[in-house]
Chain A
């Protein structure tokens, strides 16, 4: 009996890992709720409105009410859809952003634990692998709905997301030429010592930022949805909690790319003063680093929201034109210039 118990006991790293996964989901879900509320309040401020302020103090419980509403609505499945894919699509849209978050170091240390769920040495490759999965949710939804508007939305989405993924992937290559490592923890270490990559690779940052808008299907790149012409694009036929999953997936994706941008360009959990660029010695220091990370994340989220309410939408061909004829060549040129510079600097 004792021996059996011994063999069942798993190493503490496993339990810590499980705890961190729980924490990440436990933090991400409320963050999404907060982002939805922020979107509604900020858009209201931009549009001279008040926004939701009835549910709870300052409307803080509004996301809860929204979620409850989604759950209680009739989950209607139209007769003409391809059922299996129709059910699969919302889940496929929801999962990738959560997986992306796994490799993001969202703090320095808490006691003996690194604040990253999976400290992969191929972090960024993993990230792009997962991000490219997120297109499946949308394409599947467009295909499964078996009607014309979602179909057009799905086609647009696949073209758009694949195009911008390439530009996005190319834009970060110079970063890793500089850092010399694919591990995101190492990227942060590099920035703590040598300054943020935002200032060293501004072009890469701009390309990545724009591609991030396109990847998350946010205005001005919300072609797959484009409410005015495609009604709601790929999720036209969805209702109730299935629609909510797409909705959550979009915000989760925003949070995931924001976290990625914070890590890659803004030094992650570090700040270049008060010695905040060194791993924390105490729990309070660890919490402070968490705060810094989420502060930067919040800034990006506000940017996402702000841009959405100030811009019209691109046309599909203009978007492809921009992606293939400007961003991809620019990103490639950036790689060559960086490589040349490194080669010359090395003598």
Chain B
């Protein structure tokens, strides 16, 4: 039996061609390059947008302009030497990064529960100050992106006060390098607690002012409500964390879910959004700052006396006067400086609730003073991954509202 006669059917192709023609009729798409040098991509994020008129049909984030190879750098130095590099991750909350990194190393060493209470409280204070500072900037920049410049300057005034506090505490305003493995660089200076209490009173007024300018501002609500909606399932699928996840309706907060430091002894609420739009992300951040103030007030009230570091010469540098007079301390100092803190063989992951989300450090150690491999789970990196999905179908003006509400830091994203 001869094979049935076959012939090429062109129909699908013709249809496809017709569709192509239709697209031509609809008009040309424009590719708009947003960033890496652009006023509202906050650093060096680059977005390649494909536009149909003003509507975004495709969005592709390009990252890596600030890549410094932090993870590789970590393999070539002692654990303590890497602390300054953590300042440069989320550079809007360096104190929180210091704490998260120190806790990760301490967890690997199995000493995180041995930290003296005063040290733990001061670390919580650091984290929450950093959270307020980061959120103030995030909200200010967010408001500035949708056109409200005044909010930005008002929140910046408060950040300045936080920087003064941080300067008094660590000696630096920006690159704090405050924690040490097993403790802190130095104790609170005299009068710091009162200064911090005064600040907390003042910053509460600032929250109210910010809310007056934005929360029920019709234009702001129009610009943010139902814009960039991130449903909870999508947020979980993409691994979003921090305020962005909570705005979508999850109450996942590492401070509650896996309490570290003394968070289990402190009272605070976790604000949760309902829709997951830009407006919810704004509201969650405002409330988170209020809760941070609550935590700080409790910490300052309950702050115990005592040492600020583990009493172990093999982990923490001994006091200088003893180094110059006692043999044992001299040896400890020599070993710590030349070889670093001895960390046992093994691997550990520790995630802390940072202002931007879950900042995680995975450390793989073969023993000795330097990590074999260090991986940083950067919340900004993960949060940015959802951008193509969020941006599609929105207008160019929404891009800045969405970027502002996601609140990312490229230093952390690119590492």
**Interchain CB contact (< 8 A) of B147 among A43, A220, A317, A318:** A220
For B32, the chain A residues whose CB sits under 8 A away are 148-149, 152
Measured between beta carbons, the chain A residues less than 8 angstroms from B261 are: none
List of A residues within 8 angstroms of B145 by Cβ: 228-229
Q: Which of B207-240 contact A (CB under 8 A)?
A: 213-214, 217, 219-220, 222-223
- Separation in Å of the B156 CB from the closest CB of chain A? 9
B114 within 8 A of A: no
B400 is an interface residue with CB less than 8 A from chain A: yes
Query: B323 to chain A: which residues have CB within 8 Å?
Result: none
Q: Which of B40, B143, B397 contacts A315 (CB 8 A)?
A: B397
Q: Which residues of A contact B146 (CB under 8 A)?
A: 228, 312-313
Q: Please state if B54 and A312 are interface contacts (CB–CB under 8 Å).
A: no
B54 CB contacts on chain A under 8 angstroms: 152, 316-317
Distance of A229 Cα from B35 Cα, bound (Å): 10
| A311 at the B interface (CB under 8 A) | yes
Q: Does A46 contact B (CB under 8 A)?
A: yes
What's the least CB distance linking B18 to chain A, in Å?
A: 30
Q: Which residues of chain A are within 8 angstroms of B33 by Cβ–Cβ distance?
A: 148
Q: A47-B154, A310-B150, A316-B395 are in contact. Are A227 and B219 (CB under 8 A)?
A: no
Give A135 to B176 CA distance when docked, in angstroms.
52
B133 at the interface (CB under 8 A from A): no
Most B CB atoms within 10 A — which of A46, A47, A315, A316? A315
Mask, A44-61, CB within 8 Å of B = 1, is 001111000000000000
Tell me which residues across on chain B come within 8 A of A46, comparing CB atoms: 150
Interface centre among A223, A228, A309, A318, by most chain B C-beta atoms within 10 angstroms, is A228
B43 CB to nearest chain A CB (Å): 14
Check: A314 CB closer than 8 A to any chain B CB: yes
**Nearest Cβ distance between residue B30 and chain A, in whole angstroms?**
7
A residues less than 8 Å from B143 (CB atoms) = 312
Q: Which B residues touch A314, using CB under 8 A?
A: 219, 222-223
Q: Give the size range of B's interface with the partner.
A: 20 to 34
User: Nearest Cβ in chain B — how far from A221, in angstroms?
Assistant: 10
- Of A47, A223, A230, A318, the residue contacting B153 (CB under 8 A) is A47
Partner of A231, one of B38, B149, B214, B399: B38
Q: Confirm or deny: A175 has a beta carbon within 8 angstroms of a beta carbon on chain B.
A: no
A308 to B213, CA, bound (A): 13
Q: Is A222 engaged at the interface, CB distance under 8 Å to the other chain?
A: yes
B397 touches A229 (CB 8 A): yes
A228 lies within 8 A of B147 (CB): yes
Report B-chain residues with C-beta under 8 Å of the C-beta of A309: 149-150
CB of B147 within 8 A of CB of A152, answer no
**Is the C-beta of A219 less than 8 angstroms from some C-beta in chain B?**
yes
Contact B395 A310 (CB under 8 A): no
Q: A226 near B: Cβ within 8 Å?
A: yes
**B397 in contact with A47 (CB, 8 Å):** no
CB neighbors of A among B368-415 (8 A): 395-400
CA distance A344 to B373 in the complex (A): 88
* Residues on the B chain within 8 Å of A148, using CB: 30, 32-33
Cβ < 8 Å to A, chain B residues 121-176: 143-150, 153-154, 157
- 1/0 per residue, CB under 8 A from B, across A114-150: the answer is 0000000000000000000000000000000000110
A152 neighbours in B (Cβ, 8 Å) = 32, 54, 396
Partner of A312, one of B30, B38, B39, B220: B220
Per the 8 Å Cβ criterion, residues 286-319 of A in contact with B are 309-318
| Chain A CB within 10 Å, residue with most, of B143, B150, B213 | B150
**Chain A min CB distance to B396 (Å):** 6
Q: Which residue on chain B has the smallest CB distance to residue A309?
A: B150
Report how far A318 CA is from B219 CA in the complex, Å.
9
Please determine whether B153 and A48 come into contact, CB atoms closer than 8 angstroms.
yes
Q: How far is the CB of B58 from chain A (nearest CB, A)?
A: 16
Residue pair B219, A47 in contact (C-beta under 8 Å)? no
Chain A residues whose CB sits within 8 angstroms of the CB of B398 once the complex forms: 315
Contact in complex: A219, B153 (CB < 8 Å): no
With beta carbons under 8 angstroms apart, the residue of B30, B39, B154, B219 that contacts A228 is B39
Please give, as numbers and ranges, the residues of chain B lying within 8 Å of A49 by CB-CB distance.
Answer: 153
Closest beta carbon of chain B to A266's beta carbon, Å: 26
Instruction: Write out, one digit per residue, whether chain B residues 82-117 have a CB within 8 A of any chain A CB (1) or not (0).
Output: 000000000000000000000000000000000000
Name the one of B40, B148, B157, B219 contacting A229, with C-beta atoms under 8 angstroms.
B40
A313 to B153: give the CA distance in the assembly, Å: 17
A187 to B157, CA, bound (A): 48
In the bound complex, how far is the Cα of B148 from the Cα of A49, in angstroms?
A: 16
Q: Inside 8 A of B219's CB, which chain A residues have their CB?
A: 220, 311-314
Q: Please, how many angstroms separate the alpha-carbon atoms of A229 and B32 in the complex?
A: 11
Chain B's nearest CB lies how many Å from the CB of A319? 10
Select the residue from A222, A223, A231 with max chain B CB neighbours within 10 A.
A231
| Bound CA span A238–B152, Å | 27
Given contacts A228-B39, A310-B213, A311-B219, 11 further A-B contacts (CB under 8 A): A47-B149, A148-B32, A148-B33, A226-B397, A228-B146, A231-B38, A231-B39, A312-B146, A313-B147, A315-B223, A316-B395
Point out residues on A near B: beta carbons under 8 Å. 43, 46-49, 148-149, 152, 219-220, 222-223, 226-231, 309-318
- Leading 10 A-B pairs by shortest Cβ distance: A313-B147, A47-B153, A312-B148, A312-B147, A228-B40, A228-B145, A312-B146, A315-B397, A229-B400, A312-B220
A–B pairs, 26, beta carbons within 8 Å? A43-B150, A46-B150, A47-B150, A48-B153, A48-B157, A49-B153, A148-B32, A149-B32, A219-B147, A220-B147, A226-B397, A228-B39, A228-B40, A228-B400, A309-B149, A310-B148, A310-B213, A311-B147, A311-B148, A312-B217, A312-B219, A315-B222, A315-B223, A317-B54, A318-B222, A318-B223
